[in-house]
Amino acid sequence: MYKDNVIVDRREMLRVKLKSLAEESRIIRREELRTHGALRFELRNHRAVQVRREARHTLLAYGFIRGLKYREMEPNAFTVPDWERVKKMLKAYGPLKMEAPEMPLKVMAPQTRTPRLATT
């Protein structure tokens, strides 16, 4: 992002990275349909674990640069993100004078509604 012809942050690079990860996931999914056996399992595992994890951390870093809070981005998270990876992206792509965002050490399970009993 530019301000008075000076680079303020590199959020556009994160946006491009997100698009690349999304396309990678689509390509892997198509290739999964063409293969069988162990290779199919490896492709699915790579897409479902590594690509998805990297996309999550990239989205978190992009959201923090945009000024969002963690709870606004992931209100129903069950697992804790790799905060070191997010911080590394913030350092590489974020503004120089960025305050450290609030990163909870643990993620609380979302509140579940208790079913109401029918009253007659």
Q: What is the average per-residue pLDDT within 7-23?
A: 89
How far is C-alpha 50 from the chain's CA centre? 11
Counted residue by residue, the chain has a size of 120
58 secondary structure, DSSP code:
H
Amino acid sitting at position 21: L
Q: Which residue has the higher pLDDT, 14 or 113?
A: 14
In order of 17, 40, 75, 87, 89, the CA distances from 65 in angstroms are 14, 36, 18, 11, 10
Lowest mean pLDDT among 29-33, 71-75, 96-100, 110-114: 110-114
At residue 23 the predicted structure's pLDDT band, cuts being 50, 70 and 90, is very high
pLDDT of residue 81: 93
pLDDT, average across residues 26-55: 96
Lowest-confidence region among 28-42, 56-70, 99-113: 99-113
- The pTM assigned to this predicted structure is 0.77
Compute how many other C-beta atoms are within 10 angstroms of the C-beta atom of residue 3: 9
Q: How far apart are CA 74 and CA 30, in angstroms?
A: 28
